[in-house]
Chain A
Amino acid sequence: MTSLLRVEGLSIAYRGRRGGEVEAVRGIDFTVGRGELVSLVGESGSGKSSCARAVLGLLPASARVGGRIDLDGQDLTGLSPRAWRAVRGKRIGFVPQDPTAGLNPTRRIGDQIGDAVRLHDPQARGDALRERVEELLERVRLPEPARRARQYPHELSGGMRQRVLIAAGLAHHPDLLVADEPTSALDVTVQKTILDHIDVLRAELGIAVLLITHDLGVAADRSDRIVVLEQGAIAESGAPGRLLRTPASDYTTRLVAAVPRVDQGRLGGDPAPATGEPLLEADGLSKAFASRGTRLQAVDDVSVRLHRGRTLGVVGESGSGKSTLARLLARLLPADSGRVRLDGEDVTALAGEPLRLLRRRVQVVYQNPYTSLDPRFTIARTLAEPLRAFDIGDKVSRRERGAELLGQVGLPDEFLDRLPAQLSGGQLQRVAIARALATSPDLVVLDEAVSALDVSVQAQILELLVRLQTELGLTMVFISHDLAVVRQVSDDVVVMDGGRVIESGPAGALFARPQHARTRALIAAVPGDAARRDGLVNAS
Chain B
Amino acid sequence: MTAVLTGPGYAGSRLRTGALDVVRRPGLVLALVVLVVVISWAFVPGLFAHQDPITGVPADRLQGPSAAHLFGTDHLGRDTFSRVVHGASLTLRATLLAVLVGLAAGGLLGLVAGFVGGRLDAVVMRVVDVMLAIPGLLLSLAVVTALGFGTLQVAIAVGVSSVAAFARVMRAETLRVRAQTFVEAAHSVGSRRFYVLAAHVLPNASGPVLALSALEFGSAILSISSLSFLGFGAQPPAPEWGALVSDGRDYLGTAWWLTTFPGLTVALVVLAANRLARHLEGTRE
Contacts and interface: CB of A to CB of B under 8 A. Distances in A.
Interface of A: 15, 17-19, 21, 60-62, 330, 332, 356-357, 359-360, 363-364, 366, 368, 371-377, 385-386, 388-390, 432, 435-436, 438-439
A373 B188 CA distance: 12
A330 B1 CA distance: 41
Given A61-B6, A62-B4, A332-B184, A19 B192 contact: no
Contacts of A439: 189-190
A135 B83 CA distance: 78
Nearest to A355: B190
B190 A373 contact: no
13 contacts: A21-B11, A359-B190, A371-B182, A373-B185, A374-B182, A376-B203, A385-B189, A385-B191, A386-B191, A388-B191, A389-B192, A389-B195, A390-B190
B204 A62 contact: no
B182 A389 contact: no
Interface residues of B, number: 28
B190 A364 contact: no
Contact of B188 (A18, A332, A357, A390): A332
Nearest to A20: B11
Contact of A372 (B185, B199, B204): B185
A391 to B, nearest CB: 11
| Closest A-B pairs by Cβ, 9 of them | A359-B190, A61-B6, A386-B189, A389-B190, A371-B181, A389-B191, A372-B181, A364-B188, A374-B182
A367 to B, nearest CB: 8
B93 interface: no
Contact of B14 (A19, A366, A373): A19
Contact of A61 (B7, B11, B181, B186): B7
B28 to A, nearest CB: 19
B278 interface: no
A357 B204 CA distance: 26
Contact of B204 (A363, A368, A376): A376
A451 to B, nearest CB: 14
Contacts of B182: 371-375
B184 to A, nearest CB: 7
A51 B257 CA distance: 66
B203 to A, nearest CB: 5
A386 B195 CA distance: 11
B180 interface: yes
B66 interface: no
Interface string B1-39: 100101110111110010000000000000000000000
A359 B188 contact: yes
Contacts of A356: 190, 192
Interface of B: 1, 4, 6-8, 10-14, 17, 180-182, 184-192, 195, 199-200, 203-204
Given A60-B6, A62-B6, A371-B180, A15 B11 contact: yes
A386 B199 CA distance: 13
Nearest to B200: A374
A360 B180 contact: no
Given A366-B181, A373-B185, A376-B203, A18 B190 contact: no
Contacts of A388: 191, 195
A359 B189 contact: yes
B68 to A, nearest CB: 51
A440 to B, nearest CB: 13
Nearest to A364: B188
A19 B16 CA distance: 10
Given A372-B182, A374-B204, 14 more contacts: A15-B10, A19-B17, A330-B188, A357-B190, A359-B188, A363-B189, A366-B184, A366-B185, A374-B199, A377-B200, A386-B189, A386-B190, A389-B189, A435-B185
B209 to A, nearest CB: 16
Nearest to B177: A374
A366 to B, nearest CB: 5
Nearest to B16: A19
A15 to B, nearest CB: 7
A364 B181 CA distance: 11
B205 to A, nearest CB: 11
Nearest to A445: B188
A364 B4 CA distance: 40
A366 B8 CA distance: 42
Contacts of A374: 182, 186, 199-200, 204
Most buried by A among B1, B6, B7, B188: B188
A432 B181 CA distance: 12
A450 B66 CA distance: 76
A363 B189 CA distance: 6
A385 B4 contact: no
A359 B189 CA distance: 6
A8 to B, nearest CB: 21
Contacts of B204: 374-376
Contacts of B7: 61
A435 B181 CA distance: 14
A176 to B, nearest CB: 26
Nearest to B10: A15
Contacts of B14: 18-19
Nearest to B180: A371
Nearest to A420: B182
Contacts of A330: 188
Contacts of B185: 364, 366, 372-373, 432, 435
B189 A61 contact: no
A371 B182 CA distance: 6
Contacts of A18: 14
B22 to A, nearest CB: 18
Contacts of B13: 19
Nearest to B15: A19
B187 to A, nearest CB: 8
Contacts of B8: 61
Contacts of A435: 185, 189
